[in-house]
Amino acid sequence: MSRGSLSVVSDAVVARAPSKVNLHLGVGPRRDDGYHDLVTVFQALSLHDDVRISPSSALSVTVRGESAASVPADESNLAVRAVFALGAWADRAAKVSIDIDKAIPVAGGMAGGSADAAAALVALATLWQLDIDRDELSRIAAELGSDIPFSLHGGTALGTGRGEQLIPVLARGEYHWVLAIAREGLSTPAVYGELDRLRDNRSGSELDESELLARPDALMQALASGDPEAVAPLLHNDLQPAALSLQPTLRRTLRAGIDAGALNGIVSGSGPTCAFLCADETEAVNVAAELSGAGVTRSVRTASGPVPGTRIIDPT
């Protein structure tokens, strides 16, 4: 992996990991093992978490930020699991402090936990000066969670398998988003369960796996053109009906964003965050202001993408 210009590693190392939105999320039928194959196009967004890792006499974790209270500060925290996994790989005791500065909404469909795991992996590998390349780090990441390899990778990428097999996608230009963050989160397994239930209840035709898992070529061409107006109508999320079924108020949020002038709006991943693609930065600021005034969500943020994957930043 790249260690940037850090030739001498200081007491603390800080890594920054992006959030993500799925521009396309095709979900295959439930497999016998309960999982679903995916075809997805991820875009990494500027809304990020920072994770600071410093040497300590024992493992500890702190979380700060707006939704810190809903993040576990024990061994179920994905950043802690990442530290244990890299400790096992390096055969070293995980005696470090992990301090998470959280801006990505929790249980929001924006891969916040995955971001923290990716940041913990990169920060710890740097702190310990491990001789580990990005592919190996990605392999460890994929074992911890299927969105974590993309948090490392960043940019815009096509994900297959469970989303962990990545191919970069050429995306020209910068995309401006407004994120409507809901009051209550949604559990990813619950949303997949609801999708299965909705599909089981649908009378008639069998699910066509090849159709569900088709590569979104039109979207990828639009991304190559760099025109948000071409990309907007091609945003697609198979999980959206399930998220709307579990949180019907999201329909109102999606309508409010479109009414405010967004090109299109979509539930991000398993939701409930709604992501609105806007024509440019000025439009995004206008849409964000109007959406805040509509009072349909807990908070509203603007973000841009694509941004790079997880990287070391200056600890000061």
- Residue 111 within binding range of ligand ATP, rule CB under 6 A: yes
Catalytic residue among 50, 101, 116, 147: 147
Q: Give the range of 24-32, 75-83, 124-132, 200-208 binding ligand ATP by CB under 6 A.
A: 75-83
Closest approach, Cβ 270 to ligand ATP, in A, equals 5
- Residue 109 within binding range of ligand ATP, rule CB under 6 A: yes
Closest approach, Cβ 221 to ligand ATP, in A, equals 26
Q: Give the range of 73-81, 124-132, 168-176, 279-287 binding ligand ATP by CB under 6 A.
A: 73-81
Q: Which of 4, 55, 72, 168 binds ligand ATP (CB under 6 A)?
A: 72
Q: Give the range of 107-115, 128-136, 168-176, 249-257 binding ligand ATP by CB under 6 A.
A: 107-115
Catalytic residue among 20, 49, 50, 99: 20
DSSP string, the chain: ---TT-SS--S-EEEEEEEEEEEEEEEEEEPTTS-EEEEEEEEEEEEEEEEEEEE-SS-EEEEESTTGGGS--STTSHHHHHHHHHHHHHT----EEEEEE--SPTTSSS-HHHHHHHHHHHHHHHHTT----HHHHHHHHHHH-TTHHHHHHBSEEEEETTTTEEEE----S-EEEEEEE-SS---HHHHHHHHHHHHHH--SSPP-HHHHT---HHHHHHHHHT-HHHHGGG-EETTHHHHHHH-TTHHHHHHHHHHTT-SEEEE-TTSS-EEEEESSHHHHHHHHHHHHHHT-SSEEEEEEE--B-SEEE---
- Residue 147 within binding range of ligand ATP, rule CB under 6 A: yes
Q: Which is nearer to ligand ATP, 33 or 91 (CB)?
A: 33
Q: Which of 154, 155, 269, 306 binds ligand ATP (CB under 6 A)?
A: 269
Q: Which is nearer to ligand ATP, 14 or 79 (CB)?
A: 79
Q: Is 102 a catalytic residue?
A: no
Binding residues for ligand ATP, per CB under 6 A?
71-72, 76-79, 100, 106-114, 116, 147, 188, 269-270
